[in-house]
């Protein structure tokens, strides 16, 4: 079979193109050639975390990959079958665990058996969804499609040392149900997790109290933010680091998330205020899917059994890129109402992919 050709310089020309392409290759069983990898980045080609991500997808799909080396600007992957099982991956330093999950989870939905993934790397790092966002927002949206993913955070990892560790459990489906998330509805409650490692507990407490105060000032009374910290001498993290993730559950069954990371010289109050302001802006726009979840949902919508529709708070370049790559692999055509940088409605008729290992006779 001739590989699907994907130009890695499309759109922003970053690592997301590679992640989505190898995810779709494993999911569909179609080989893929990705060239011009990260062509628009100052350090083009595969870096360590991209290398690990591709290796992870190759492992779960028993794929052969040509060109898989540091700084390579072209790879070709030949997947075989998605087996499921127990896997262990080390992203290296603070490379994002969440970005590895973006690559492997679509294929594991159609694996022959449940899987467990032990992944070491960064749980709370810049330019990627924090692990608390994945498990409290995105995984809940996947569950609405019938795909259940569980996650245990064993240890957090921050930039630059990393060292975080999570264990993720996936439960394959016979098919994915379509999803309709158009109306935000009324906010029923807001929850969150504020954490700090290798730092005094008051850092996490100040993040939480500021976020709570900002949200309550806007009329949201039911706000519960858990505080996570570790006593000196019993803190297993490499650290230091801190962050906060907030999510709102609404009457229509959707979940909207926002987050902020601590950094040297950034007051804890600023971190909490930033996360709360992001969540308030998402809620003000009135969409049922936040801008971070929309691009991750695209592959699942395309293979679901029926018509899916979502309204996102912002059509990002990441989402537009995901649509482009999915359409390169599958006989689907997304309908998008809205412009880049603005709220948008995204619709698609899924192909109704079936898991042959779980298909009912």
State the DSSP string of 347-359. EEE------TTT-
CB 344 within 8 Å of CB 322: no
Does this model's pTM top 0.75? My answer is yes
Give CA torsion, residues 172, 178, 179, 180, to 10 deg. Answer: -170
Work out the average pLDDT over 46-67: 93
Whether 202 is catalytic: no
Averaged confidence pLDDT in the chain: 95
Work out the average pLDDT over 218-228: 96
pLDDT in tens, 152-176: 999 999 999 999 999 999 999 999 9
CB 98 within 8 Å of CB 129: yes
Question: In whole angstroms, how far apart are CA 270 and each of 121, 158, 159, 226, 233?
Answer: 26, 18, 19, 18, 28
Instruction: Indicate the pLDDT class of residue 40, thresholds 50, 70 and 90.
Output: confident
What's the pLDDT at 360?
Answer: 61
pLDDT in tens, 126-144: 999 999 999 999 999 999 9
Q: Of 158, 202, 318, 324, which is the active-site residue?
A: 318
Question: In whole angstroms, how far apart are CA 274 and each of 191, 207, 254, 262, 267?
Answer: 15, 10, 22, 10, 11
Q: Give the span between the Cα atoms of 261 and 179, in whole angstroms.
A: 30
Work out the average pLDDT over 237-255: 97
* Token pair recorded at residue 22: 């190898």
What's the pLDDT at 361?
Answer: 42
Work out the average pLDDT over 290-298: 97
pLDDT beyond 70 at 254? yes
Q: Give the span between the Cα atoms of 156 and 330, in whole angstroms.
A: 37
């Amino acid at each position: 079979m001739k590989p699907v050709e994907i130009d890695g310089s499309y759109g922003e020309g970053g690592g997301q193109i590679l992640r989505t392409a190898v995810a779709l290759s494993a999911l569909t069983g179609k080989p893929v050639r990705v060239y011009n990898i990260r062509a628009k980045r100052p350090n083009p080609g595969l870096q360590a975390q991209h290398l690990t991500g591709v290796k992870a997808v190759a492992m779960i799909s028993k794929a052969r990959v040509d060109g898989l080396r540091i700084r390579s600007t072209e790879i070709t992957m030949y997947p075989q079958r998605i087996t499921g099982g127990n896997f262990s991956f080390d992203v290296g330093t603070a490379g994002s665990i969440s970005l590895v999950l973006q690559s492997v989870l679509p294929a594991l939905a159609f694996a022959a058996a449940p899987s467990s993934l032990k992944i070491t790397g960064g749980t709370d790092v810049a330019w990627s969804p924090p692990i608390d966002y994945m498990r409290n927002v995105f995984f809940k949206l996947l569950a609405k499609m019938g795909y259940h993913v569980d996650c245990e955070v064993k240890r957090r990892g921050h930039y630059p040392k990393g060292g975080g560790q999570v264990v993720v459990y996936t439960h394959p489906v016979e098919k994915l149900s379509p999803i309709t998330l158009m109306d935000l509805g009324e906010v029923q409650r807001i929850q969150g997790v504020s954490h700090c490692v290798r730092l005094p507990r008051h850092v996490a407490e100040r993040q939480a109290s500021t976020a709570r105060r900002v949200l309550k000032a806007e009329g949201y009374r039911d706000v519960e933010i858990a505080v996570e910290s570790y006593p000196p001498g019993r803190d297993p993290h490499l650290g230091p680091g801190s962050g906060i993730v907030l999510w709102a559950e609404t009457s229509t069954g959707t979940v909207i998330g926002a987050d902020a990371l601590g950094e040297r010289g950034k007051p804890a109050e600023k971190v909490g205020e930033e996360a709360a302001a992001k969540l308030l802006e998402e809620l003000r726009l009135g969409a049922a899917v936040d801008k971070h979840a929309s691009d991750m949902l695209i592959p699942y919508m395309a293979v679901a059994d029926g018509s899916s529709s979502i309204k996102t708070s912002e059509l990002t370049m990441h989402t537009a890129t995901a649509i482009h790559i999915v359409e390169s692999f599958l006989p689907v055509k997304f309908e998008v109402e809205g412009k880049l940088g603005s709220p948008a409605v995204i619709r698609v008729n899924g192909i109704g992919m079936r898991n042959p290992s779980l298909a009912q006779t």
